[in-house]
Structure formats: structure tokens, C-alpha cells
């Protein structure tokens, strides 16, 4: 066999340091083969091994009574939701591929996360996406944005999963390095949890799904490097090509197969394809695996062992089958017209052995490569730019004299503007479960009996299906979910920004009537070898962890994406938080928009944090968009106050008197109230706009800009009918939350009266700019 | 009544159709595309989705499935067949309905609630729809623009085969009301005989107020009413 000689240059090209290479030799007791070098290179890349982040990830809270499969154990975490049901959910990134090939990069991102869910035995029922791009004035940014959205739409729609929520941000720091974080949630019965472990010595190992090609070669390694100008040309081959139709068939076939009980272990071939799935399943079970490459279905001619092991061709699964049950695999995969191949066997050697026509091309101890990758404690140093950030005061910023213009400008700002241009390209209603679609604070999805994977099948020698497995047709559950991160806050204060991401997610869930259950995190940062960037990572993780502990939302799993930087510089640190909650009853489901004229508007929380010298304007959308300043310490987040507020919002909602709830975030109070007037969408070209008259005169001596656009944390705007308003205010007080009547719903204008003046906007006018901003920026 | 809901590879809205019909109190089962018999189905639903990944053209491959032969036979015997979204595309490809569905004028996939006006309330698919009632139903498609040549369009009009047109909230049939640029704002049609219909909107997503609208019920209830009258007539 003509494999290249292992030279120091080749090792460096594989992103392994000399020390790491020495360790490889130590593990093997000899120099590696070329194929083995490739295998170690992907398994020990940051993307697969988390070697730079594992010490930090260990600081997250990861336990709660509801957790059935925890962070780090399997491909996705699983939480109990009662009545023998559970949810599997996770978020993952596909940033680098989307930067060079936005459509397929984003599409395969969806494919990857959906597989992580059904590999656990859950039926995927919904997804979300958290996207970040540069400034839309750049044609290149528009190309990436359009391509990513089209890619997600293509994959999700064809697979048949509703994309029900997410977020889109636009900031210069993401130019050239877009972020594409995709979340998926699935449902299963407790008894259906499948694990990625190669159990049972002698069990056959099956490969199912389309044939292996050269696409996506070493994608994991590509993801673990900075992007360069040459990346586009050089790395296009590393971008995988997705086929959602194939994935849908593979998903149905796998869920059907799992129901037969023939599966001993299952794992998807995602990052590092065949390599990762074989050594990880062996490592988990403490067994070994032997595979024969000539049995692997191939769709390109003359593929080398290196290529077969490192290919990231999509929609493939590795299934360990109980010996004697092989016929079931064949029957089911033939039914769905899917390729399958028996490619190996589980052994007792603890080694991953790869044979090619009888010759061993790789022979590696599974646990050593999967679990004992190097771990680094990177150097962290507080970034120099923070000094100026902390020193910033409002002395140099005069109060606004034109709030009428400011509100319009903010509502038209792509980061704040309506995202309908995006989500109308996603089928967000398939599966008859979308109760609250994109456009409110959190998405709400209904779980019903057909959300579940097929029932376990009764066979001649199995016991009757227990009664607990057969759920009443009428069983319904409501799951709420949101994705949040204000990366500007994290850039300006990584600890506070990390906290804020978790708190904002929990606040959004509370506004929908949900109690949060858990979090999946997607950490998007720059090069970890840069001490200042690593400091950002360390501090954000600390903030995330503290907030998750205070709000009782353990981390069930997630993803790290490092090396997000281009020659122009690193991205703003972005620890995206995906949070999931439960709503007990349909009548508690609450939406963002005002409902009826005459309803009273109440602000829960302090209108402006008196302790904040920047009055909530630090890092605000207002400061960025109106004054062109991205500086100042962001608003502090008091975790006790947040917890009290969220519990109060839920209590008030359960009391049945809250007609709408919306939290204040980017753009502050004025934007939040405007959104309540604008977001009720009935049908195509059919809005249900309603005005509001706000009286903020009781808030004396506040700067107008701080009052209207400051982003003080822990504030929620609710509305209730006039007869209940006094009760709601009183009730909030009892629950420990300040509540102030600030206005009344009705009319065709938004009117805001403060001690300094009164301003008026026709709602239809505000709507036009807000609704059409993205479409206009994208040319239709 | 027993509805057979066809299941092609990657029909994604098949379970939704079953769910909606069962919600309305009727028997509904999935029928795998390789089956050659419809059993004792009273009506057939050809559901939405991306059958065969929309390879070649939407519905182009599904129409060759073994089960479609049984559907052709069923339809020529007067059996009721309803095609929804991709199902509509399949029926056009199979020649059971005239015309074709092409790429949305905007070239983008569109998912949103729309309004349709019912033009012919004498068909088995519309007889339970109250007069002047606009139906608010979701669409979700990338290829929903109805196209046929002018001779076919004239024939459809003359034969009162255009069942639904996209309209705005006030019932006006105008360009901006259409999510896809269909000729004459056509949202759904039936065949000459009136027993086979297709529409791009998804009535099975509009059978519960919890999901935003229950106007879709009227279409299924029309079918059920027609079937009940037929079986009562036979019994008599």
C-alpha cells in the first residue's frame, strides 16, 4: 500500500503538536500508519475531543432529578417530562462549513443535529436556529445569510421537522465568520432510550444509509482551525453534502428497528464519521470493534482507507445488532429501500481494528483514543480592551432629542426587526404541533401520541407490551423553547453576558407560561491559544454556570466551536443558550402581543436600575445603532431578582389574568411595547395591529433615552383586562416584584408620554419598517 | 368512514392527516406505497410532504408507486380522492387532475396562513362550507404555483372545477393574497367528474383552534357528508 511517509510536516498538517504525536506513539507502542494519523487527527481535534474546553465544561451544573442521560454521556441529553415520557435535545454548530458553503454547510448542520436526536431513540419533532452574520450592507454577508437560511429550509422542510424558533443577529464581528447553531428536540418513552455503546462480544456491526464518498473529508479538523482567505477554495471539499430525503428514511427505519429490540447500540456517523462512531461506541462499552473496509458501501472509486475512515458523508448510522437478529435489520432497511452492510463485529480486545482486504490499517486502543485525548489548561488573560469599556460613562452621550426617529431606527435595525423573512421560508407548522409559532418570546410545541417513536413491538418471546407503554390517545404535553445570547454583552463583560444569556432564555420561557427544565449550550469563541479570547471563554462559562445553578436549569449537553476568527479578527464571544421548559396546561400558554383595546399595560420590575451608572444603556442596541458605540458595561443581572420575577410571572399567568407577556431586551421598553403592538400576525398580508398609550410620567427625572431604550435586566411587560389590573399589581407585590401601571391598549397609534415630552407613532407606520426591514435589505 | 392516507417515502404530512381525521371521529390509516390494494377505504388522502425528496419533479416518482394504480382504479370508479400539497402535485403528475404546480413566483418556500374563497360549493369537497365563509388555512410549499394553458383554464372555469382561490381577509382575489403566484389565484381544483380534488393549502393543519384555525374541518366534513349520503342512498 502506498501511504505517505509520516514526517513532522505531515503531522503538523494534521494539526497535531509534536507532544501530541509523541503521545500517539506512546499509546500505540510504535509510529502510527497514515490512516491512524488521520484518525488521531480528527479524534483529537478540538471539535471532537474538547481538549481546550473540557476543564471549563466540567464546571457546569449537570444534574437534576429529571435528567435521565446527562451531559457528556451520549450524543444528546435526555430529561423526564412525566408520564413515562422524555425529551432529548441538543444544540450544535456548523460555523466553518457555512462560511465557505452556506447552503450545504447549514443544511448538513441540521442533518447532524437531527441525527444526534434520533440516534438516542427519540423522534425529532422540532428545531430552532441561532444565526449570526456581519453587516447586511455587504453583498458577501447577504450571500451567506441567504444561503444559510435556504440551506436550513431545504433540509428541515424536506425532512419534515418544523423550525419553530431561533434568533438572528447582525454584527460586524461575524463578517467572514457566520455562526450557525442548530437545535433539535425529540420525544421518546423512558424505555426507548438508545445508547451508543458497542455491547455484546460477537455482536455484528452494521452500517446503514447512503454509500461513503469523499465529501466532508476531515470536516472535524477543518472546524478546529482559523478561517483564512484560502479557506473557501481549499476547504470546500471539507463541506459535507446533505440529502434530507435520505435522512428521513434513515430516521424512520432506525426508529422502526429500535422498536424490535434488535439493537444493542446505535450511533450516528457525524463529525469524524466512521472513525468516531466505531471508537466511541467501543469505548463506552469497554469492548473492541473490528471492521472490514471493503464491506463499507462506497460511491467514489478507489477510496483509500484514510478516506473511508475520515469521510463525513451524511445520513449514515452505525448499528450494533444482537447476534441472531440480523434479519430484522435487513427486512426493515430493505422496506425503506436503504443500503445496509454488515461491516464488522464487537470484540473483547478493547481495540478498534480496521482491516482493508485482510490487512490491518489501524489498530488503536478504543478508550485511549476516545476518552484520553490530551486536555489543556489554556492561559487566560483579561483583554486590554476591557479597560476602556469599564471606563465609559454617559457624560459623552447627550440625551436624545428625537425619540420618534430613534424608535423607528431601532425597529428597522436588522437585529431587532421582524425575522419573518427568515421563518416564512421554514415550514414551521408540519407535524400539527406548533401552538406558538415564530414571532413570540418562546416557541411552544404540543406533544401527542404520534410525536413518539413506534411502540415496542410484541414478539413471540417478549412479554406483552406493558400498559404504561400504551399512552392514552388524548395525552398532550406542551414544551416551550427559546434560543438566546446577546453577544455584545458577552464581548463587553463575558461573565455578566454569560449570565444574561441564561437569564434572558428563562425570562422568555416564563413569558410563555413555562417552567424551565434544562439548557443546551453552544459555545462559539475564537482561537483558544489567544489568552484574551480564552479568558472570554472562561468567564462566560462561569457566568453561564452561575445562572444555570441559580435558576435550576442544568446543562444537559452542548457543543463547542472554537477558532471562529478570520484575518479580520475574532467573533464576539457567543455562548448561545438553548433552553427548554414545560407548560402544564394549554390555558397557561401566553403570547407576546396585546389582545384587546382597554387592557391595562403593567411593567414588572424596576424601570431603570438605580445602581447602574449607565442606566441600562451600556452595550445597548440604542448606543450601537444611534451613537455608533459598542462599549460600556452591560446591565447587571441580579440572579435572585431574576428568579423572583420569573416565578411571579408564572404565578400571575396561572392565576388566569395575564393576557400577554413580553420581556424587555434589545431596544428596551419602547421597543418591547412596540413589539406587543405589532407582532400579532393573522395571515398573509393580514396583521392585527393595535396601539397603546403609555404614561411614563411617574418615572421622574430619568434620561429619556434610558427610560425608553435602556436595557435594564429583569423587566417584563404584561397586559390584563381593566377589571383585573389592580389585583395583578397587588399580586405582583406580594410575590416580591415591583409592578407599575404604565398604560392602556388601544387605538391605531403608539403614544408615549414622559416628564420630558410626548411622542406619537402610527402603528401601521412602525409595522411597515419593522416587518419589511430584512426583505428590503435582501432585495425582496 | 375509513380514510386511507397514502404513505410514500418522505411523505411528511401523512401522520398529520391521520391525526386530523381521527380528531373528527373517523377511521384513518396509513397505506404504504408498495401496497396494491386500498382495502375497504371509503376515500383516499394523498398527503403533503416531499415524497422521494422531490427528485426530478415534485410528485413525479410517487405517481409510479404500486398504490397509485389502485388509486387510479378507485378514482375511475368514482371513489373520492383528495390530494394535499405534495399530494396535489402527485395527482397532477398522475394525470388525475389537469395542470401542474411549478416554483413559487418568489422562488422561495413560503409557510404562512392564507385565506381562500370557495368558488363552487356543490362539490363533495366543499358542500359543508358555509356560504361566504373564507377559510383561513396554512400553506407550506416551494412549488405551489398552479399552471395550466389557457384552454385548460377555460375548461376548468366552464366546468366549475376551480374549487378555491387565494384571497385577502376581505375576500378580494388579488395578487398579494397569493403566496405563490398561481394563475387566477388558484389554490385548489377538482376533476371533471368532481370526485378527485387537489389543493395546496393544508386543511389537516387547521382542524384545531389550538393550532390557530379550525377552518380546515369544513373540507373533511364535506367529504364525510357526501360519503354518508352516498352510503345512505345505497342502503335505501
Are A100 and A231 spatial neighbours (Cβ–Cβ below 8 Å)? yes
At residue A467, does pLDDT exceed 60? no
Domain housing B156: 2-235
Overall average pLDDT of the A227-237 stretch? 68
Q: Are B52 and A245 a contacting pair at CB < 8 A?
A: yes
Are B99 and B184 spatial neighbours (Cβ–Cβ below 8 Å)? no
- Residues of A with Cβ-Cβ distance to B142 under 8 angstroms: 157
At residue A459, does pLDDT exceed 80? no
Residue B230 has which C-alpha cell?
352516498
Q: What is the pLDDT of residue A67?
A: 98
Q: Are B18 and A450 a contacting pair at CB < 8 A?
A: yes
- Residues of A with Cβ-Cβ distance to B136 under 8 angstroms: 682-683
Task: Tell whether A677 is covered by a domain.
Answer: no
At residue A231, does pLDDT exceed 90? no
Residue A532: how many CB atoms within 10 A of its CB? 17
Q: What is the pLDDT of residue A221?
A: 61
At residue A237, does pLDDT exceed 80? no
- Residues of B with Cβ-Cβ distance to A774 under 8 angstroms: none
Length reported for chain B: 236
Of B10, B115, B177, the CB nearest to A158: B10
Overall average pLDDT of the B88-101 stretch? 97
ipTM: 0.96
- Residues of A with Cβ-Cβ distance to B205 under 8 angstroms: 429-430, 432
**Looking at A94, A646, A662, A681, which residue is catalytic?**
A94
pLDDT digits (tens, 9 = 90+) for B142-201: 999 999 999 999 999 999 999 999 999 999 999 999 999 999 999 999 999 999 999 999
Q: What is the pLDDT of residue A641?
A: 98
- Measure B134 CA to nearest chain A CA, in Å: 12
Of B54, B169, B211, the CB nearest to A686: B169
How sure is the predictor about A234, in pLDDT bands with cuts at 50, 70 and 90?
A: low
Q: Is A521 on the interface with B (CB under 8 A)?
A: no
- Residues of B with Cβ-Cβ distance to A473 under 8 angstroms: 22
- Residues of A with Cβ-Cβ distance to B55 under 8 angstroms: 245
For chain A, what is the largest distance between any 2 Cα atoms, rounded to a whole number of angstroms?
A: 85
Give the separation between CA A525 and CA A49, rounded to whole angstroms: 16
Rg (CA), chain B: 16
For β-strands B145-147 and B135-141, DSSP reports them as unpaired
DSSP characters over A451-501: GSPPPPPP-TTSPPPPGGGS--TT--EEEEEEEE--HHHHHH-HHHHHHHH
At residue A464, does pLDDT exceed 70? no
At residue A219, does pLDDT exceed 90? no
Q: Is B16 on the interface with A (CB under 8 A)?
A: yes
Could you give the number of structural domains in chain A?
1
Q: What is the pLDDT of residue A326?
A: 96
Q: Are A684 and B177 a contacting pair at CB < 8 A?
A: yes
Q: Best of B17, B49, B111 to disrupt the A interface by mutation (most A CBs within 10 Å)?
A: B111
Q: Are B109 and A683 a contacting pair at CB < 8 A?
A: no
**Which of these, B90, B158, B74, B161, lies nearest to B124 by C-alpha position?**
B161
Give the separation between CA A301 and CA B134, rounded to whole angstroms: 58
Q: Is B73 on the interface with A (CB under 8 A)?
A: no
* Torsion (CA) A248, A249, A252, A254 in degrees, nearest 10: -110
Domain housing A251: 1-61+195-373
Q: Are A160 and B49 a contacting pair at CB < 8 A?
A: yes
Q: Are A248 and B12 a contacting pair at CB < 8 A?
A: yes
Of all residues in chain B, the one with the smallest CA distance to A444 is B211
Q: What is the pLDDT of residue A222?
A: 62
Cβ-based contacts under 8 A for chains A and B: 111
- Residues of A with Cβ-Cβ distance to B168 under 8 angstroms: 685-686
How sure is the predictor about A218, in pLDDT bands with cuts at 50, 70 and 90?
A: low
Q: Are A682 and B169 a contacting pair at CB < 8 A?
A: yes
Q: Are A432 and B204 a contacting pair at CB < 8 A?
A: yes
How sure is the predictor about B81, in pLDDT bands with cuts at 50, 70 and 90?
A: very high
Q: Is B18 on the interface with A (CB under 8 A)?
A: yes
Q: Which of A90-104, A454-468, B8-22 has the lowest mean pLDDT?
A: A454-468
Q: What is the pLDDT of residue A220?
A: 61
Give the separation between CA A654 and CA A438, rounded to whole angstroms: 23
Q: Are A424 and B110 a contacting pair at CB < 8 A?
A: yes
- Measure B199 CA to nearest chain A CA, in Å: 16
Q: Are A450 and B15 a contacting pair at CB < 8 A?
A: yes
Overall average pLDDT of the A86-93 stretch? 97
Are B75 and B41 spatial neighbours (Cβ–Cβ below 8 Å)? no
Please state, rounded to an integer, the average pLDDT across all residues of chain B. Answer: 96
Residue with cell 442548530: A182
pTM of the model: 0.96
CATH number of the domain enclosing B154 = 3.40.50.880
Overall average pLDDT of the A486-497 stretch? 98
Residue burial A469-483, b: 16+ Cβ < 10 Å; e: rest: eebeeeebbbbbbbb
Q: Is A94 a catalytic residue?
A: yes
Please state, rounded to an integer, the average pLDDT across all residues of chain A. Answer: 94
Which residues make Cβ contacts (< 8 Å) with residue B176, sequence separation at least 6? Answer: A684, A685, B168
CATH number of the domain enclosing A236 = 3.90.650.10
Q: Is B13 on the interface with A (CB under 8 A)?
A: yes
Q: Is A246 on the interface with B (CB under 8 A)?
A: yes
Task: Tell whether A317 is covered by a domain.
Answer: yes
Q: Is A23 on the interface with B (CB under 8 A)?
A: no
Residue A537: how many CB atoms within 10 A of its CB? 26
How sure is the predictor about A458, in pLDDT bands with cuts at 50, 70 and 90?
A: low
How sure is the predictor about A473, in pLDDT bands with cuts at 50, 70 and 90?
A: low
Overall average pLDDT of the A138-142 stretch? 97
Of B54, B204, B211, the CB nearest to A434: B211
At residue A465, does pLDDT exceed 60? no
Are A483 and A130 spatial neighbours (Cβ–Cβ below 8 Å)? yes
- Residues of B with Cβ-Cβ distance to A145 under 8 angstroms: none
Q: Is B176 on the interface with A (CB under 8 A)?
A: yes
pLDDT digits (tens, 9 = 90+) for A593-613: 999 999 999 999 999 999 999
**Which of these, A487, A550, A540, A605, lies nearest to A181 by C-alpha position?**
A487
Q: Are A432 and B110 a contacting pair at CB < 8 A?
A: no
Q: What is the pLDDT of residue A701?
A: 72
At residue A516, does pLDDT exceed 60? yes
Which residues make Cβ contacts (< 8 Å) with residue A112, sequence separation at least 6? Answer: A92, A94, A182, A268, A270, A271, A314
Of B112, B136, B140, the CB nearest to A430: B140
Q: Are B50 and A158 a contacting pair at CB < 8 A?
A: yes
Are A180 and A94 spatial neighbours (Cβ–Cβ below 8 Å)? yes
Task: Tell whether A240 is covered by a domain.
Answer: yes
For chain B, the distance separating the N- and C-terminal CA atoms, rounded to the nearest angstrom, is 18
- Stated as kind and residue range, the H or E segment containing A328 is helix A326-335
At residue B120, does pLDDT exceed 70? yes
Residue A748: how many CB atoms within 10 A of its CB? 12
For β-strands A123-133 and B196-199, DSSP reports them as unpaired
- Stated as kind and residue range, the H or E segment containing A141 is helix A139-159
Q: Are B140 and A427 a contacting pair at CB < 8 A?
A: yes
Overall average pLDDT of the A443-470 stretch? 74
Q: Is B29 on the interface with A (CB under 8 A)?
A: no
The SS3 of residue A131 is: strand
Q: Are A426 and B111 a contacting pair at CB < 8 A?
A: yes
How sure is the predictor about B85, in pLDDT bands with cuts at 50, 70 and 90?
A: very high
At residue A271, does pLDDT exceed 90? no
Overall average pLDDT of the A483-490 stretch? 98
Are B218 and B124 spatial neighbours (Cβ–Cβ below 8 Å)? no
Could you give the number of structural domains in chain B?
1
Q: Best of B22, B110, B112 to disrupt the A interface by mutation (most A CBs within 10 Å)?
A: B112
- Residues of A with Cβ-Cβ distance to B19 under 8 angstroms: 432, 448, 450
Q: What are phi and psi of B20, to 5 degrees?
A: -65, -45
Amino acid at each position: 500500500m502506498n501511504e505517505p511517509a509520516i514526517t513532522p510536516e505531515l503531522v503538523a498538517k494534521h494539526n497535531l503538536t509534536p507532544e501530541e504525536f509523541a503521545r500517539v506513539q506512546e499509546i500505540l507502542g510504535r509510529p502510527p500508519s497514515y490512516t491512524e494519523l488521520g484518525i488521531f487527527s480528527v479524534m483529537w481535534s478540538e471539535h471532537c475531543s474538547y481538549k481546550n474546553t473540557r476543564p471549563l465544561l466540567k464546571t457546569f451544573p449537570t444534574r437534576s432529578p429529571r435528567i435521565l442521560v446527562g451531559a457528556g454521556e451520549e450524543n444528546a441529553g435526555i430529561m423526564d417530562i412525566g408520564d413515562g415520557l422524555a425529551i432529548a435535545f441538543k444544540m450544535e454548530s456548523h460555523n466553518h462549513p457555512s462560511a465557505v458553503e452556506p447552503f450545504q454547510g447549514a443544511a448538513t448542520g441540521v442533518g447532524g443535529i437531527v441525527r444526534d436526536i434520533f440516534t438516542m431513540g427519540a423522534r425529532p419533532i422540532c428545531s430552532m436556529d441561532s444565526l449570526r452574520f456581519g453587516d447586511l450592507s455587504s453583498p458577501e454577508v447577504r450571500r451567506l445569510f441567504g444561503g444559510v437560511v435556504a440551506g436550513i429550509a431545504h433540509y428541515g422542510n424536506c425532512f419534515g421537522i418544523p423550525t419553530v424558533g431561533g434568533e438572528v443577529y447582525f454584527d460586524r464581528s461575524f463578517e467572514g465568520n457566520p455562526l450557525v447553531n442548530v437545535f433539535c428536540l425529540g420525544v421518546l418513552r423512558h424505555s426507548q432510550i438508545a445508547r451508543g455503546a458497542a455491547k455484546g462480544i460477537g455482536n455484528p456491526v452494521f452500517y446503514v444509509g447512503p454509500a461513503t464518498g469523499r465529501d466532508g473529508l476531515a470536516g472535524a479538523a477543518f472546524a478546529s482551525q482559523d478561517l483564512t482567505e484560502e479557506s473557501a477554495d481549499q476547504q470546500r471539499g471539507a463541506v459535507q453534502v446533505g440529502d434530507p430525503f435520505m435522512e428521513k428514511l434513515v430516521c424512520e427505519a432506525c426508529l422502526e428497528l429500535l422498536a424490535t429490540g434488535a439493537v444493542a447500540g446505535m450511533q450516528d456517523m457525524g463529525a469524524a464519521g466512521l472513525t468516531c462512531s466505531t471508537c466511541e461506541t467501543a469505548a463506552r462499552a469497554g469492548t473492541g470493534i473490528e471492521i472490514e473496509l471493503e464491506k463499507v458501501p462506497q460511491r467514489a472509486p478507489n477510496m483509500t482507507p484514510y478516506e473511508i475512515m475520515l469521510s463525513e458523508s451524511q445520513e449514515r448510522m452505525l448499528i450494533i445488532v444482537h447476534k441472531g437478529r440480523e434479519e430484522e435489520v435487513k427486512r426493515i432497511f430493505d422496506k425503506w429501500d436503504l443500503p445496509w452492510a454488515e461491516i464488522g463485529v464487537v470484540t473483547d480486545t478493547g481495540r478498534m481494528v480496521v482491516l482493508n482486504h485482510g490487512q490491518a490499517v489501524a489498530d488503536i486502543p478504543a478508550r485511549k483514543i476516545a476518552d484520553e485525548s490530551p486536555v489543556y489548561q489554556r492561559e487566560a488573560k483579561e483583554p486590554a480592551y476591557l479597560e476602556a469599556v469599564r471606563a465609559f460613562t454617559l457624560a459623552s452621550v447627550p440625551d436624545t432629542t428625537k425619540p420618534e426617529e430613534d424608535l423607528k431606527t431601532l425597529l428597522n435595525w436588522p437585529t431587532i426587526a421582524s425575522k419573518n423573512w427568515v421563518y416564512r421560508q421554514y415550514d414551521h407548522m408540519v407535524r400539527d404541533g406548533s401552538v406558538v409559532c415564530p414571532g413570540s418570546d418562546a416557541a411552544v410545541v404540543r406533544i401527542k401520541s404520534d410525536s413518539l417513536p413506534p411502540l415496542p413491538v410484541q414478539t413471540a418471546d417478549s412479554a406483552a407490551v406493558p400498559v404504561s407503554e400504551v399512552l392514552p390517545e388524548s395525552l398532550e404535553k406542551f414544551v416551550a423553547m427559546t434560543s438566546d445570547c446577546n453577544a455584545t454583552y458577552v464581548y463587553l463583560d463575558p461573565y455578566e453576558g454569560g449570565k444574561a444569556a441564561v437569564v434572558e432564555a428563562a425570562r422568555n420561557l416564563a413569558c410563555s407560561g413555562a417552567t424551565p427544565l434544562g439548557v443546551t449550550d453552544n459555545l462559539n469563541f475564537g482561537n483558544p491559544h489567544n489568552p484574551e479570547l480564552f479568558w472570554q471563554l472562561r468567564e462566560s462559562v462561569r457566568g453561564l454556570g452561575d445562572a444555570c445553578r441559580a435558576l435550576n436549569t442544568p446543562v444537559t449537553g452542548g457543543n463547542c466551536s472554537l477558532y471562529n476568527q478570520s484575518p479580520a479578527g475574532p467573533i464576539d464571544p457567543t455562548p448561545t443558550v438553548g433552553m427548554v421548559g414545560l407548560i402544564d396546561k394549554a390555558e397557561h400558554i401566553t403570547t407576546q402581543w396585546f389582545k384587546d383595546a382597554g387592557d391595562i399595560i403593567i411593567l414588572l420590575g424596576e424601570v431603570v436600575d438605580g445602581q447602574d451608572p449607565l442606566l441600562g444603556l451600556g452595550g445597548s442596541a440604542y448606543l450601537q445603532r444611534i451613537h455608533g458605540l459598542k462599549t460600556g458595561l452591560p446591565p447587571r443581572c441580579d440572579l435572585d431578582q431574576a428568579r423572583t420575577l420569573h416565578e411571579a410571572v408564572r404565578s400571575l399567568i396561572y392565576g388566569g389574568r395575564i393576557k400577554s407577556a413580553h420581556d424587555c431586551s434589545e431596544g428596551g421598553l419602547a421597543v418591547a411595547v412596540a413589539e406587543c403592538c405589532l407582532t400579532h400576525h393573522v395571515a398573509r398580508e393580514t396583521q392585527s395591529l393595535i396601539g397603546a398609550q403609555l404614561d411614563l410620567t411617574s418615572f421622574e427625572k430619568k434620561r429619556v433615552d434610558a427610560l425608553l431604550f435602556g436595557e435594564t435586566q429583569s423587566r417584563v411587560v404584561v397586559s390584563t383586562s381593566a377589571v383585573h389590573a389592580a389585583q395583578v399589581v397587588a399580586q405582583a407585590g406580594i410575590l416580591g416584584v415591583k409592578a407599575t401601571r404604565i398604560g392602556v391598549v388601544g387605538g391605531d397609534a403608539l403614544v408615549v408620554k414622559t416628564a420630558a415630552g410626548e411622542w406619537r407613532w402610527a402603528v401601521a407606520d412602525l409595522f411597515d419598517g419593522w416587518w419589511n426591514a430584512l426583505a428590503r435589505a435582501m432585495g425582496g | 368512514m375509513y380514510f386511507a392516507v397514502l404513505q410514500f417515502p418522505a411523505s411528511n404530512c401523512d401522520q398529520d392527516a391521520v391525526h386530523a381525521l381521527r380528531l373528527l371521529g373517523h377511521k384513518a390509516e396509513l397505506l404504504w406505497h408498495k401496497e396494491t390494494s386500498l382495502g375497504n377505504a371509503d376515500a383516499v388522502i394523498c398527503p403533503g410532504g416531499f415524497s422521494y425528496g422531490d427528485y426530478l419533479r415534485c410528485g413525479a416518482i410517487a405517481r409510479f408507486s404500486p398504490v397509485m394504480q389502485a388509486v387510479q382504479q378507485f378514482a375511475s370508479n368514482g371513489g373520492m380522492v383528495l390530494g394535499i400539497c405534495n399530494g396535489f402535485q402527485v395527482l397532477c403528475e398522475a394525470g388525475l387532475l389537469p395542470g401542474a404546480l411549478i416554483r413559487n413566483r418568489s422562488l422561495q418556500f413560503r409557510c404562512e396562513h392564507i385565506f381562500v374563497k370557495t368558488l363552487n360549493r356543490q362539490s363533495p369537497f366543499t358542500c359543508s362550507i358555509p356560504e361566504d365563509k373564507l377559510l383561513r388555512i396554512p400553506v407550506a410549499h416551494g412549488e405551489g404555483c398552479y399552471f395550466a394553458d389557457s384552454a385548460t383554464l377555460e375548461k376548468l372555469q366552464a366546468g366549475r372545477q376551480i374549487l378555491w382561490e387565494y384571497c385577502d381577509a376581505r375576500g378580494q382575489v388579488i395578487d398579494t393574497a397569493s403566496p405563490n403566484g398561481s394563475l387566477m389565484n388558484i389554490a385548489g381544483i377538482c376533476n371533471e367528474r368532481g370526485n378527485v380534488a387537489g389543493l395546496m393549502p393544508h386543511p389537516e393543519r387547521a382542524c384545531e383552534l389550538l393550532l390557530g384555525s379550525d377552518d380546515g374541518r369544513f373540507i373533511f366534513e364535506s367529504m364525510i357528508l357526501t360519503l354518508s349520503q352516498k352510503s345512505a342512498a345505497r342502503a335505501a
